Structure 1
Amino acid sequence: MAPRIPKGQSAPLNVTQEGRQRVFVGLGWDPNESTSIKDKTLSKLGLKNIHHDLDLSCYLYDQNKRYINHVSVEKGHEVDQTGQIYHSGDNVKGVGEGDDEQISVELKNLDPAITSIIFKASIKSGHTFDEVAAPEIRLVDAYSGRIFLELSLQDGNESNRPVFVFAALLKATDGGWNILHIGKFIDVPTDVHWAETLKSYI
């Protein structure tokens, strides 16, 4: 599954100029159907969930890299302050075809203060991406179905981590948007403050 934008590089987001100019990031994975004895034991001890529970979120910043808001499955954060960025809802098992979670961004009426949007996938069930069945993430033009960037989350030797920083949408000086392919697996930082951690990528 080759990315269309090399890691660490950016490209114009040539979104279809129709409707609300919606793009979305989709996160998909398959249910855990081969639970090990170790997982079952850790689950009974409350240290690990049998199900693979992945979550998709995005963080919003202004032109000075100041945190504005974030959109995630957290209560009160399913939609941004203007309703133009919104989460599809929490999927805790990966059941269903296609994307299991999505975040949509309607660029046409987006708050002009937002100039950077960073997307990350994380696992809250105590697993790492190399333990999850078929995890993948993609950025799509909702109107045309064109995929701008699509990645497997089990590529390389770095997927033994629970967080993946996928990509950023960066506002250009001409008012358009660019895609920055970040593609970075990371551990959960000590005393994590995601708004601060993620802004280092823009």
Structure 2
Amino acid sequence: MSVSLSKNQSVSLSKQSPNGLSSITLGVGWDVAKPKGFLGKVFGGGGGDIDLDASALLLDASKNEVDSIWFGQLNSHDGSVRHSGDNLTGEGDGDDESIAIDLNRLPRQVEYVVLTVTSFRGQTFDKVDNAYGRVVDNSTNRELARFPISDSGPHTGLVLACLSRAGGEWTFKAVGHRTNGQTVKHLVTDAVRVI
């Protein structure tokens, strides 16, 4: 059974997957917000496409950047992390973008994998509904944890969650820190500060 997390809560992924964890996927999904109220329905204000971008920032124990995976670089330099590709609309059910991580191949120096979401076109999160981040065990295709994103507002970026390693054990923490930026490169300073 999946664990539903609130902001700043964490869960041991190793305990959620007692037979061992070798490969996971970090998934992100969202919908376009529908117009609210009578005037919103009459004059619009919703609809259209929302181009959010999921990215992963790989950090060492000192929180120095080792690599970053995003729509501009779909694979880590060593090939252990792969991005599904850029979804420009947010349409459809399920994950809109995902990042697969081979935990056995991830370099030993990587202690943190920070999941971020940014709006490349500058659309704000008040135009987004039903957003979430989640972790799936690839060997069983079972969702281990989910973090519903209820933070609507005028921000264009979110440090969504952090995967951290300690002694071979992996923990997933829901961060939910609002920020601004159009790519993961704009969020590095905030990500390092809040994890």
TM surpasses 0.5: yes
Is this contact kept in 2: 1:16–1:143, CA < 8 A?
no
CA distance in 2 between partners of 1:132 and 1:10 (Å) = 24
State the one-letter code of the partner of 2:157: V
What residue number does 2:107 align with?
111
Secondary structure at the residue paired with 1:105? strand
TM-score when normalising by structure 2: 0.80
TM-score when normalising by structure 1: 0.77
In terms of fraction of residues, the more strand-rich structure is: 2
State the one-letter code of the partner of 1:26: G
* Equivalent residue runs for 1:55-70 within 5 Å: 55-70=53-68
What residue number does 2:22 align with?
21
Residues 159 and 140 (structure 1), Cα distance of their counterparts in 2 relative to 1, 3 Å cut: farther
- The answer for unaligned runs of 5 or more in structure 2 is none
CA distance in 1 between partners of 2:7 and 2:108 (Å) = 27
Q: CA RMSD in A?
A: 3.0
Is this contact kept in 1: 2:67–2:76, CA < 8 A?
yes
* Equivalent residue runs for 1:141-152 within 5 Å: 141-152=137-148
What residue number does 1:162 align with?
156
**Deviation of 1:141 (Å):** 1.5
Q: Which moved more, 1:137-146 or 1:99-108?
A: 137-146
CA distance in 2 between partners of 1:145 and 1:16 (Å) = 14
- The answer for unaligned runs of 5 or more in structure 1 is 41-49
CA distance in 2 between partners of 1:31 and 1:38 (Å) = 13
**Deviation of 1:170 (Å):** 0.9
Deviations 1:73-116 (A, max 9, x none): 01xx1111111101000110123321111001110121111111
CA distance in 1 between partners of 2:34 and 2:9 (Å) = 37
**Deviation of 1:200 (Å):** 1.1
In terms of fraction of residues, the more helix-rich structure is: 2
What residue number does 1:181 align with?
174
**Deviation of 1:12 (Å):** 1.6
Residues 169 and 61 (structure 1), Cα distance of their counterparts in 2 relative to 1, 3 Å cut: same
What residue number does 2:70 align with?
72
